[in-house]
Structure 1
Amino acid sequence: MDSMEQGVSSLNIESRLKKNLDDDGRIKRTGTVVTASAHIITAVIGSGVLSLAWAIAQLGWVAGPAVLMAFSFITYFTSTLLADCYRSPDPITGKRNYTYMDVVRANLGGRRVQLCGLAQYGNLVGVTIGYTITASISMVAVKRSNCFHKNGHQVKCSTSNYPFMVIFACIQMVLSQIPNFHKLSWLSIVAAIMSFAYSSIGLGLSIARLVGGAHAKTTLTGTTVGVDVTGSEKVWRAFQAIGDIAFAYAYSTVLVEIQDTLKSSPPENKVMKRASLAGISTTTLFYVMCGCLGYAAFGNDAPGNFLTGFGFYEPFWLIDVANVCIAIHLIGAYQVLELKKGSEEYDG
């Protein structure tokens, strides 16, 4: 009887263990369309949303919103294609591909794996460096905002970025010790809330500026050659604005890793497509509103970032809150990108 009881007990334990595992033997994934959407919004909406007024200023009322909508459609369409590549050869029952590189390996193979890997890691390095710099600028902006409020807007209030870069790096080192990315779902949700917060603050301040009677110069074609810029500057800035908008939408480097956090039922590709639609639609709404209203408020003289570039000085405490939100959001966004590295190490 004892041996039978032990056998039954071991079967029960084994059964419970299997219930906690997915079809690939890994711990059961718990992600949903909500957490995936939060990850997407965290990865896509960066502090670059606050520079879209400048981008629209270079392109004007016609080309600016058109480029925003075009890249929104392109991003969603390519995201749906990539979502179907998570499992192969069948997008519902096939073998899982845990990372972007696994997808390339399964569908392309050969030397293209190395080429895509080089492009992906190069992009990740560039983005994380940009996050570090931008977060430090936002931290410095808090200190400068208080200085301007105390001493007047004409004071230089110079502050070094380097100590704040070190602080940002230390925070990332601590968060990077968390072993499983799905445990960071709460961080992505917080970061997504932060992105909504500072975007809304920037949007609200632009509306307040318009309601306050600001009469900024805007045109259908943006900055005027011979008045605002030279001919060569116009061409360069137009291409730069298009590049900024295209870069603002890119999240393909972490799409597969985000999809790998989803529950297997309903099928991951269907959930990821819904999450992509929700995330990209939300992103586009904020991009268009912040870009267009920011351009209407500042016109062709729109600053590169009207929260850290001090398009606004008052109310100083609200500027501080917005810049703190930017820093918190970038902390979470950095960890979303770290998912790529963590997934590769997990496979190894």
Structure 2
Amino acid sequence: MAKTVIGFFDSRTQAESAQQDLISNGFSRSSIRLMAGEEGGREYAGQTPETHAHEGFMDRVRHFLAEIGLMSEKGASHVSESEHSLYAEGMRRGGTLLSVTTDDDSADEAADILSRHGAVDIDERATAWQADSATQTGATTASGVMGASGTTAASSATEGETRIPVIEEELKVGKREVERGGARVYSHMTETPVEEQVRLREERVDVERRPVDRPASEAELNAFQEGTMEIRTTAEEPVVSKEARVVEEVVVGKEATEHTETIRGTVRATEVEVESLTPEEAQQFAAHESEFRSDFQNVYSSRGISYEQLQPAYRYGYHLGLNPRYRGSDWSQVEPEIRRDWEAHNYGPWDRFKDAVHYAWDRARHH
């Protein structure tokens, strides 16, 4: 009985790779069907099919399932409405569907090939989509979007409170079974010439005539009549037969061994440092902030970075410039030390922020 195996892939490249592998393993090209989503499908990531009224993907998936016999255009279907909806959502996000029709014996092999090339569990992926949708919805609300009641969602947090998430990466080491080769055993017939010697016995009739001259006896007279005598001879001939005998056994098995392997990696973590600023320092920086904004417009506005991202660098350089330790020094002399301090605090890539630090440091020394 024919079976249809369906795989959903995040990219068309994965699906085409699986298609080539299927063909290489003897599956007919005509039994394989592939339907790819549109390249722009991922722009809707985070929305569910209910929140996006584009029905084109639902229709395309319905026609695809009808072509492979899993759904009827009249409504009868081997695929549930929820599965149909999930496939359509995956296509909308840029995914690709691949199906292969084969017999019962090859269905498991086809499924293994699809899994090996990245076919995903559509139900697990649906859970991830829902979580992604909830995360994006929550992030939009927290940013201050007005609700129907006219209140800002961010007002539920304590006023003046900023939350900085501290994130750490955890190294998880698992194991999986992979093929490492093996042995293929062939058996075939061979022919070897052999010879044996055997002694054969053979009889033959020997007739000898002897001259005799004597009177006939009574017995001989009684035998003196017409008759026939037959003497038969025998001979032996070779008879060849063959008997198959087991003379050796080839035993093929597997031996499993275990070894310990050390996995090394690096993990990242968020470190939050709090630097206290006196009111005087804050006022001094605020008094000259217009100069820093002007420098930002002249130097950084075209680099795809905001002033808010650079403001800590301006403040850092300004306070260093006010430090008597650096007042009589040249920038080329102090830059290595300042850079080490900056990188030790993990403030960000030095080459990205050093011009802002230098500018603020120089302005502070001349005020």
* Same fold (TM > 0.5): no
What TM-score comes out, normalization by structure 2 length?
A: 0.22
What TM-score comes out, normalization by structure 1 length?
A: 0.23
Who wins on radius of gyration, i.e. which is larger? Answer: 2
The structure with higher relative contact order (CA 8 Å, sep 6+) is 1
In terms of fraction of residues, the more strand-rich structure is: 2
In terms of fraction of residues, the more helix-rich structure is: 1
